[in-house]
Structures are given as structure tokens and as C-alpha cells.
Amino acid sequence: MFLIPALASIGQSSTIAPPLSAWVSQFSSPLLATLDPENAPAVLSGVLLSLVVIYLASKIGGELSKRLDFPPVLGELLAGVVVGVSALHLLMFPESGAEAADSVMMTVVNFISGLSPEAATQVFEAQGEVISVLAELGVIILLFEIGLESDLRQLKEVGYQATVVACVGVAVPFIAGTVGLMTLFNVAAIPAIFAGAALTATSIGITSKVLSELGQLKSREGQIIVGAAVIDDVLGIIVLAVVASLAKTGEIDVSNVIYLIVSATVFLIGAILLGNFFNQSFVSIVDKLQTRGNIVVPAFIFAFFMAFLGNAIHLEAILGAFAAGLVLDETDRRKELDEQVKPIADLLVPIFFVTVGARADLGVLNPAVPENRAGLLIAAFLIVVAIVGKVITGWAAFGQPGINRLAIGVGMVPRGEVGLVFAGIGAASGVLSKPLEAAIIIMVILTTFAAPPFLRLAFGESADPPEDAEPVVSGPVLAGEAQTLP
């Protein structure tokens, strides 16, 4: 074969897709530094050491949290804060403006590898990039697993309520936040709208993990929360896209808004419809495979492809993974798949939670620094709006007598990674002032950290225990509110 020049030459010229590759042929930037292959062992050292730190932190934090009767995920987040930029500086990311020398781990790697300053910067950035992508794969697999555990029919049942809860949970914090910032704190319109938008999106990852730990993922409340969080995420990303383009151009790009709304709708409905057709093909393909990984590899091809699609149409990758999980939940091989996804999730999901904690810089909370004080006041306001604006959404779930409305509202409170995306994009685009950026970060941290214990309390107070859980009466904190439930 190699003696035929026509065939053999394919290795030396790009014969594939010339029309597409032609218009990108100007891509070549000799000024950008490519990672020197000699530094590849140092990058690997950095990644391995990061993973060891992440796993140690997640296990220590999770186990302590469990023993203190908190959800393990809270311990994982706090352990992330301890090893991250706020305290030990073990796990640092270049996006935050940190340099290689700020990272204790890079100091260790550098001590071992004896890198030049340029090489150290390259290695620091490369390993940060790898850990960031692993964390993203972690949240993708988390959502895939949650999709697998969610019952599509049950989610359809609460779809209407979930939509109303999500819309109220987006509209109330957005309007109250924007108007409040403009009238009470004299913030200009565009930053105020941006900060208001940052209050909208619920962190589906954190809420779902806590619900799963409480055994409430399949309860009616759990299904409404997850359903609303999914819709919320879509609405939040639409709001972000609109606000970001508003911030850039000074006017709302209507065609982009329409594109986003249409693509999100088509994507989700398409995934659910496709599900009925794809289930059969998936099982028949899996049954024919004879090599190792015959279930798990096809399942991840589907999950990663859906995540890619979700990302490609400028929605979120996690949305695609969630849809993939929902679809595969309906197949006959679900049990085997569940079992095999578990260890993969055990290994990748903690990377997400620990890095969320590690990235959060609690230093911006320091009231001793004068420029933080304006941020603290604004932060206090944003936190009140963020909590109240979501807690009231429980009462928007109409036609559900006896439902735990407080639990639904509290379940919508954490902002987590989505809120951090808002803060990051706002800071990068220069729309947000330092105090406003700090205030958003504080709001995200507190809602994220406070929601799990309060969600636990709210479910503990439940007047209507889920079918598969014993009613637990504990915690007098929210008793007054809980008694107002029908």
C-alpha cells in the first residue's frame, strides 16, 4: 500500500475538506508560544499532583461533612476553598491572574523539574487548562448521571410547574436586583442589568447532588427543582447572552436572542423525541459489541456528542449531557450502565466541586480593605434578593396541594458555577466594577454554601414526606415558615 504514491501522499497534504480549511488557512501565529515537548513531563507532574490534592481534599472534606451530618458536597466545596486561592494556594488557576510562583504546587513541580521562568508559566497554564477541562468533564458526567437517575415521564408530569417556577425565579431576582442597584446604590444601567442577570441562574449541579444525597431527587419537590433548574439554566444563559451583547454594543441583538431561544427549545424537545427512537438502536448496538467497554463507550459517545452539541449551539454542554442521560435512562441496559458510570463519576465529579471551591477567592470578603466595603453593602443587598427572589418561587408551583413549597424555593437558591460564569464574563468584558464583581462572587459563594444545609432543614420540615423516605422532624429554625404550608 505504501508503494502507491497517490495513496501514500495523503499523509503530507490536507486533502480533506479543502473549501472549509481554505477560509481558515490564514491561521498561523508564530508569536504564540507552543508548549515545548520537553516540558510535557512537568505538565503531567502538575496534573497528577493536582489530582492527588483534589482527591485528598474531596475525601477529607466529604467524610468530615458526612460525619457532621451535612451533605458531602458541602465538605468537598469547603475543602476546595481550603486548598485553593483563599488559603493554602495548592490549587491555583491562571485565569484568576495568578502566576506560576503563586502556586505552591507549581513551586514543587518547578523544584523537581528545574524549569525556566517561561517554561514554568507555560506548564502552569497547561496544567490549569487540563484540570479545568477535567472539571468540565466532571460536571458533564454529573449531569449525565443525574439524567440517568431522573425519570423522564415524572419530569414531564411536573414540566408545567417547573416552567412557572423557573420563570418566576428568573424574573423576580433579575428585576429586583437591577432596579434595586440602580435606585438604592446609583449603579449605572448596564452594570446593574448585568448584576441582576447574575442572580438568575440556579446551579443544577449542586442542587441535584444535595437532592440525590437526601434521597429527594425522585420526590415531586426534587423533580420540580431539577426541572426548574434545567429551564432556569437555559433562561439564565439566554439572559447572559443578551446582557453580554447589550454590554458590548449598547443595544440588544434581537436575532441572537431569537436564535438562542429557538435553539434551546429545539434542542430539548428534539432530545426527548429522539430518545424514543435512539433507545432501541443503542441497545441493539450494545448487544452486538464483543470488546471491552461495550456499554460504557457507546453511552459516552452519545453523552459527549450531546454535550458537544449543547456547547456548539451556544447553550451549555451540561444541558446536552443531561438530555443524553434522560434518553439512556429509558433503555433496557440502564442498570448495567448505572453501575459502570458510578466509578467514573466518583473519579471526575469531585474535580468539579473542589475546583469551584478553589477558584472562589474569599479574600474579596475582607472588610479591613476599604475598597471592599462598598462591595460588602452591595453584596448584602444582592444576597437578600438572591435568597428571597428564589425562595418565593416555591409558591409559584400551583396545583400541587401538600407540596413542600419552602423546599422548592430553597432548592433554587444556590448559584454555584453558573453564577461564577456570570462574574467571570462580566469581569473580563470590563462591565463590572471591582466592588460589583466582588459582590456577585460573595453572593454566589454564600448562596452555594448556605443552600445545602437549608435544603436539608427544609426537607426535614416537610409536611408531605416523599414516598420512599421516612419523615424526619428536625431543626426548629424554619418552623415558623414551615407551619404556613398548606
Q: Taking CB under 8 A as the criterion, which residues in 101-130 touch a second copy? A: 101-102, 104, 106-108, 110-112, 117-118, 120-122, 125-126, 129-130
Amino acid (1-letter code) at residue 140? I
Residue 126: CB minimum distance to a second copy, A: 5
Among 68, 258, 262, 301, binds a second copy (CB under 8 A): 301
CB of 482 within 8 A of CB of 406? yes
Restricted to residues 255-284, the positions that interact with a second copy (CB under 8 A) are none
* Residues 356 to 395 in contact with a second copy, rule: CB under 8 A: 361-369
Could you tell me which stretch among 87-95, 195-203, 396-404, 455-463 binds a second copy (CB under 8 A)? 87-95
Q: Is 253 in the site for a second copy (CB under 8 A)?
A: no
Stretch that binds a second copy, among 34-42, 155-163, 219-227, 478-486 (CB under 8 A): 34-42
**For 296-451, where are the E strands, in sequence order?**
none
Three-class DSSP category at 439: helix
- Considering only residues 432 through 461, tell me which ones interact with a second copy, judged by CB under 8 A: none
Nearer to a second copy, 437 or 461 (CB): 437
Provide the mask over 146-185, with x wherever binding to a second copy is found by CB under 8 A and - wherever it is not.
----------------------------------------
Residues numbered 37 to 76 that lie near a second copy (CB under 8 A) are 37-38, 40-41, 43-45, 47-49, 51-52, 55-56, 58-59, 62-63, 66-67, 72
Q: With the CA atoms of 170, 171, 172 and 173 taken in that order, what torsion angle do they form, in degrees rounded to the nearest 10?
A: 50
d(CA 110, CA 121): 10
Distance CA 300, CA 283 (A): 14
Which DSSP string corresponds to 14-51? --S-HHHHHTTTT---TTSPPPPGGGHHHHHHHHHHHH
Report the 3 state secondary structure along 378-409. Answer: HHHHHHHHHHHHHHHHHHHCCCCCCCCHHHHH
Cβ at position 4, least distance to a second copy in Å: 9
Residue by residue, DSSP assigns 99-122 as -GGG-HHHHHHHHHH---HHHHHH
Q: Which of 68, 87, 184, 266 binds a second copy (CB under 8 A)?
A: 87
The stretch near a second copy (CB under 8 A) out of 229-237, 246-254, 308-316, 452-460 is: 308-316
If the CB atoms of residues 90 and 224 are measured against a second copy, the closer one turns out to be 90
354 is a contact residue toward a second copy (CB under 8 A) = no
Which among 133, 289, 152, 155 is positioned nearest to 221, based on CA atoms? 155
Report whether 224 contacts 165 (CB < 8 A): yes
For 84, list phi and psi in degrees, rounded to 5: -95, -155
> Can residue 145 be called a binding residue for a second copy (CB under 8 A)?
no
Judged by CB under 8 A, the residue of 258, 262, 266, 342 near a second copy is 342
